[in-house]
């Protein structure tokens, strides 16, 4: 979509018939505001949705040093963005630019419109998505400010958490930004106090945990003290698909995610082989839309929410979180996916977050421009990273164990890499050692056939090797295979943990009412389309199980 088309989508004008349909669908209240009055403020939660009937309303970014006008809404236009659905705090303020009359609706009423009035739903959702995209692309929106060093693991952790959760922020690099010292003095701080998170001219937090940060910025929603119909652990493609289908079909659904929605797919630089997207799209955009769908239907998504253990109380699964909270549900879906294996080489752990990375997104690549970088791995994720990095780095070295890239990578991707001039493939090669001082500077590799060593000068190594399932929190009642993946299906009827007269459903584990989908499941096809399909299919089995209760 062109910039002009994006702007038109972001700011449509409702006609009289559409406004009447809006009121008929969910009700609302006519209110008057005088010039200068605030309709809602930055940082406000559960703020109202407004349709402008007369006058003008100005949308302001107050997160930086000076107020900036984001948009001016006139008669027939409406306020709001995706925060209405995600439950996050407003990123802007709305102020009456003149005396005006508005049609006011609550978030619950807006959600009713989105679920019951298809034409209006499409128009409003498209506007919400386009507005957030315009803000991201503007280059002028401040949002949160993260102050810290590019060589600090904690600074990277904070930036990574915000970026993965699609929180708008500006990073002020201690090593590169000339305004940092002045800003720190303004806050009464020094470099040793960083990383610092600031907002609207005030220090919000100093080196916060992900949980503290999520609570402070309104990312984390409180859990309800109820027995949910369905609890989903993991918000990758399988978990989000289950959330969409479960919530849309009337199940009270909660999704517990330890870091951010999207899983490994969310950090993919470009996905080109997912059905229905012939021109491809980034994993973050695809998962962003999936998260919005789940929010639209009322799924309760809680981040960060890392599960520590699973027990059973009167047959109900009970999840205990690292935070000490508990979640009980009638059915459970394990959709925790996989992690890339850590490189078992000297120096790896020391440089994680300041030279060694397990994803290649704009957040990781800010320190890679015009430098040589190293990618290790021969699968599609590594290939997507190489293509992405080749457009930003001076040169990309791709380290693979075998001698043929197409053995483990989709042929279209392998061909593209082989034809990219600033990519050098190092076949039959492994990483021997990585080194540096405050940050990574060299990677030593060795060719397994010739025994030849080579030292590469680089500030960044991107690792995509192997997969480890996230199943260490599961009890012995949930049967796993030799590699730790969750076993499912009718064959588990002979498992000592199975205590039902019927055979397990296709995606059911050795414990009745507990299902597994996506990459974490033993024997699954490790593709995003397969994970989405399994997540959707699991909900059908949940319905069947609940009929038996």
Q: What is the mean pLDDT of the chain?
A: 92
Supply the pLDDT for residue 275.
86
pLDDT of 75 higher than 70:
yes
Other CB atoms within 10 Å distance of the CB of residue 150: 19
What number is the average pLDDT over the span 53-67?
92
- Nearest CA to 391 out of 427, 426, 354, 416 is that of 416
Note the pLDDT of residue 347.
Answer: 80
pLDDT attached to residue 366: 79
Q: Where do the domains of the chain lie?
A: 3-138, 144-217, 227-339+467-548, 348-463
Paired tokens of 117: 């009035």
CATH code given to domain 144-217: 3.40.30.10
**Whether the predicted pLDDT of 265 surpasses 90:** no
Answer yes or no: CATH 3.40.50.800 is held by domain 348-463: no
What pLDDT, on a 0 to 100 scale, did the predictor assign at position 256? 97
Residue 419 has pLDDT above 70, yes or no: yes
More confident residue, 403 or 534: 534
The CATH number of 227-339+467-548 is: 3.50.50.60
- Give the integer Cα–Cα distance in Å for 137 and 6: 11
Cβ-contact 144, 201 below 8 angstroms: no
pLDDT of 18-52, one tens digit each?
999 988 888 889 999 999 999 999 989 889 999 99
Tell me whether domains 227-339+467-548 and 348-463 share a fold. yes
Asked if 378 and 404 count as a contact pair (C-beta separation under 8 A), the reply is: no
Residue 54 pairs in a beta bridge with: 101
User: What is the mean pLDDT of the segment spanning 234-259?
Assistant: 97
260: three-class secondary structure by DSSP? coil
How many CA within 13 A on the CB side of residue 543?
A: 13
| pLDDT at residue 211 in the model | 94
Which pLDDT does position 2 carry in this prediction? Answer: 62
Rounded CA-CA distance 426/439 in Å is 24
pLDDT reading at 434 higher than 90: yes
Please give the pLDDT value at position 3: 63
pLDDT of residue 4: 67
The 3-class SS string of 471-534 reads CCCCCCCCCECCCCCECCCHHHHHCCCCCCCCCCCCCECCCCCEEECHHHECCCCCCHHHHHHH
Query: Residue 265: enclosing H or E segment and its boundaries?
Result: helix 263-266
What per-residue string of b and e applies to 12-25 under the rule 16 or more CB within 10 Å gives b?
Answer: bebeeebbebbbeb
pLDDT, greater one: 182 or 443: 443
pLDDT band at 369 (very low <50, low <70, confident <90, very high): confident
pLDDT at residue 406 is higher than 90 = no
Residue reference for tokens 């995209």? 133
From the centroid of its chain, how far is CA 178? 31
3 state SS for 276-338: CCCCCECHHHHHHHHHHHHHHCCCEEECCCCEEEEEEECCEEEEEECCCCEEEEEEEEECCCE
pLDDT tens digits, one per residue of 271-280: 888 888 888 8
Query: Is residue 242's pLDDT more than 90?
Result: yes
**Statement: residue 261 has pLDDT above 90:** yes
Query: Which pLDDT score is estimated for 1?
Result: 59
> Mean pLDDT, to the nearest integer, of 377-384?
91
**Burial classification of residue 396, based on how many CB atoms lie within 10 Å of its CB (0-12 exposed, 13-18 middle, 19 or more buried):** buried
* Packed helices 107-116 and 283-296: angle between N→C axes, nearest 10 degrees: 100
Contact between residue 306 and residue 325 where contact means Cβ atoms under 8 Å apart: no
- Chain centroid to CA 77: 30
Question: What percentage of the chain carries pLDDT values higher than 90?
Answer: 70
Average pLDDT score over residue span 311-334: 94
pLDDT, tens digit (0-9, with 9 covering 90-100), for 112-133: 999 888 889 999 999 999 999 9
Domain 3-138 has CATH 3.10.590.10: no
Please tell me what DSSP assigns to residue 437: S
pLDDT, average across residues 466-493: 94
User: Is the predicted pLDDT of residue 71 greater than 70, yes or no?
Assistant: yes
pLDDT of residue 186: 87
Give the residue-averaged pLDDT of 422-445: 93
């Amino acid at each position: 979509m062109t910039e002009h088309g994006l702007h038109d989508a972001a700011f449509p004008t409702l006609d009289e018939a559409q406004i009447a349909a809006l009121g008929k669908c969910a009700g609302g209240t006519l209110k008057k505001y005088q010039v200068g009055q605030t309709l809602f403020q930055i940082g406000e939660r559960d703020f109202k949705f407004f349709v402008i009937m007369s006058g003008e309303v100005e949308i302001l970014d107050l997160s930086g040093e000076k107020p900036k006008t984001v948009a001016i809404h006139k008669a027939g236009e409406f306020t709001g963005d995706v925060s209405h659905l995600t439950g996050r705090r407003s990123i802007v303020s709305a102020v009456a630019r003149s005396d005006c009359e508005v049609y006011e609706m609550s978030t619950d009423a807006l959600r009713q419109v989105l679920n019951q009035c298809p034409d209006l739903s499409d128009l409003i959702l498209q506007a919400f998505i386009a507005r957030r995209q315009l803000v991201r692309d503007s280059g002028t929106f401040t949002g949160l400010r993260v102050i810290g060093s590019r060589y600090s693991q904690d600074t990277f952790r904070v930036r990574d958490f915000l970026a993965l959760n699609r929180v708008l922020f500006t990073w002020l690099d201690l090593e590169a930004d000339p305004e940092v010292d002045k800003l720190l003095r303004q806050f009464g701080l020094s470099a040793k106090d960083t990383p610092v998170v600031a907002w609207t001219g005030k220090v919000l937090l100093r080196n916060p945990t992900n949980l503290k940060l999520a609570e402070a910025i309104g990312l984390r929603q409180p859990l309800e003290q109820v027995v949910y119909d369905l609890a989903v652990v993991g918000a990758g493609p399988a978990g989000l698909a289950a959330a969409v289908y479960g919530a849309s079909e009337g199940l009270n659904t909660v999704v517990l995610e330890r870091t951010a929605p999207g899983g490994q797919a969310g950090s993919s630089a470009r996905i080109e082989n997912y059905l229905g997207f012939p021109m491809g799209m980034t994993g973050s955009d695809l998962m962003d839309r999936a998260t919005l769908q789940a929010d639209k239907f009322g799924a309760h998504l809680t981040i960060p929410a890392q599960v520590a253990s699973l027990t059973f109380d009167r047959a109900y699964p009970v999840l205990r979180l690292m935070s000490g909270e508990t979640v009980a549900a009638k059915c459970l879906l394990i959709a925790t996916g996989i992690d890339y294996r850590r490189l078992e080489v000297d120096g790896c752990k020391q440089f994680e977050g300041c030279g060694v990375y397990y994803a290649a997104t704009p957040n990781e690549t800010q320190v890679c421009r015009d430098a040589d970088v190293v990618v290790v791995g021969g699968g599609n994720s590594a290939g997507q990273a190489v293509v992405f990095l080749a457009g930003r780095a001076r040169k990309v070295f791709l380290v693979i164990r075998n001698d043929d890239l197409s053995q483990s990578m989709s042929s279209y991707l392998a061909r593209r890499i082989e034809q990219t001039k600033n990519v050098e493939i190092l076949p039959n090669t492994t990483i021997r050692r990585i080194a540096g001082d405050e940050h990574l500077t060299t990677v030593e590799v060795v060719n397994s056939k010739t025994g030849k060593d080579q030292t590469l000068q680089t500030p960044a190594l991107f690792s995509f090797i192997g997969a480890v399932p996230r199943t260490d929190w599961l009890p012995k009642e949930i049967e796993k295979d030799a590699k730790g993946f969750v076993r499912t299906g009718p064959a588990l009827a002979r498992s000592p943990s199975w205590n039902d007269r019927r055979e397990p459903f296709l995606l059911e584990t050795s414990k009745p009412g507990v299902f597994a989908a996506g990459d974490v499941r033993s024997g699954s096809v490790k593709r995003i389309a397969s994970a989405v399909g399994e997540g959707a299919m699991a909900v059908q089995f949940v319905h069947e199980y609940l009929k038996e209760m």
